[in-house]
Structure formats: structure tokens, C-alpha cells
Amino acid sequence: MNKIDFTKSAQIIFFVIILSVLSIGLVFAFSFLLEPLKNQWYYPLIDNLGIIGAYILLFSLFDKFFWRHRIFRILSVVSVPYIGGRWKGHIESSYNGRTTKYSAFLEIEQTFSHIKTCLYTEQSFSSSLMADFVIAPNGRQELHYEYHNEPNEKATATMHGHDGVAKFSYKKERNELIGSYYTTSQHDRGNVGSLYFKFESDKTCGCFDNN
């Protein structure tokens, strides 16, 4: 996820100056437009929104929607890619010698300040406990996260809940996420594996099969 870093001049200008000026302008605009309602009982509730309230409103809109616009990357306000949505792909595991490709779907919820991943297979579901973008030694940005996995009713008797870590590299030119994972479990030795996903849709469904 992005972090507000006040050592970066671009973020100081945007979050301290530009958003503050826009907040003041929004308050004046509301005051002018709502002048005819001045005698209504609910007018004080709106009037008390104030500059702080306007700033919170604008930041919330930026955090959820506007940050995705490429202009904020050009201006260095945003430094990470937007990869939200539903991704279709497969998993290969050392559990069976990487001889099988298990179909999987990866869903990512992302705002400016937060990112969450959910991975669905036919037999299990995992969700991230914490996630963040890091700079890899090769200079590329990678998504790293820690997750918890739980088997579902279709799982084999040998499958158990476990924790693990995963990382993805985003291949923008091919719209792909390629990565690897490592699992830790009290029931057996940890397994490693590879992950491959191709972007499918902006919409998520919270399940393995959305048919």
C-alpha cells in the first residue's frame, strides 16, 4: 500500500497544500449553495462540517477512487501500481513435485492506503493478514503478504489450516502477476510453490467459481 511520506516534496505539496486549499474552497462553495437553507433545522449540521470535515471527505474520495489516475503517478504522489480486481491463474506446489497445476483465482481489494488479497482454489481459501509493496533487489516493486489458509468442504482429509507468506511481481506489459509462496504448518513440513495469474476483471465475487 502507499504511505504518506512527508520527506517527499510531491506528497507535502499535495496532502498539506493542495488538499487543504481544496477543502477551504469546498467549505465556501457549500456555504454559498446552502445559503437558502440557512433557516432549516439541519443547516447547522451541514455548516459544522468545516475545513477538517471537508479535508476528510476529499481524502476519503482520493483514497478510494482518485488515486488510481495516472496523473498522480506522473506527479510522484502515488508510487505503487493499481492491481485491484479478479485474477485467474494456477498454483504449482512442491507437495506433489509441481506435477499438477491447480486452478486458482486471486482477488485484490486496493485503495491508496490499504491492500488485501484473497486466494481461492477448489479446496481452500486464503486471505492476507498483512500486505505491502516492497522494492526488490532488482529494483522492481513486489507485493509481499502474509496469509492464513483454511480448507473447505471439498478438501481432502490430509489438508489442514496453515499460515504462509507469498510475493508477486507485477508484469504491467502483460497484465500478469507472477510469484511464489512458502507455507508453515504444525501438521507437516512447509511447502513451497509458484503462482501465476492473469488479470480477468475489475469485479470480484468472493468465491472460486462465479458461474
What three-state secondary structure class fits 41? coil
The mean pLDDT of 40-47, rounded to a whole number, is 67
Partners of residue 142 on adjacent β-strands: 134, 169
Provide the pairing of β-strand 141-151 with 85-93: unpaired
State the chain's mean pLDDT as an integer.
89
For residue 182, what pLDDT is reported? 93
Q: Please provide residue 9's backbone torsions phi and psi, each rounded to the nearest 5 degrees.
A: -60, -35
pLDDT above 90 (res 107): yes
d(CA 103, CA 197): 10
For residue 27, what pLDDT is reported? 85
Is-contact 201 85, C-beta < 8 A?
A: yes
Q: How far is CA 144 from CA 55, 76, 107, 188, in A?
A: 31, 22, 15, 24
First to last CA, the chain: 31
d(CA 125, CA 150): 6
Give the model confidence (pLDDT) of 143-202 as tens digits: 999 999 999 888 877 777 889 999 999 999 999 999 999 997 666 667 899 999 999 999
Provide the pairing of β-strand 141-151 with 124-135: antiparallel
Is-contact 144 128, C-beta < 8 A?
A: no
Is-contact 104 123, C-beta < 8 A?
A: no
- Going by C-beta distance under 8 Å and a sequence separation of 6 or more, which residues neighbour residue 128? 115, 116, 117, 118, 145, 146, 147
What three-state secondary structure class fits 135? strand
- Going by C-beta distance under 8 Å and a sequence separation of 6 or more, which residues neighbour residue 96? none
Q: Where are the beta strands (DSSP E) in 9-101?
A: 85-93
Is-contact 193 98, C-beta < 8 A?
A: yes
State what percent of residues in the chain have pLDDT above 90.
62
Cell 499535495 belongs to residue: 14
Give the model confidence (pLDDT) of 67-98 as tens digits: 999 999 999 999 999 999 999 999 998 877 78
What three-state secondary structure class fits 17? helix
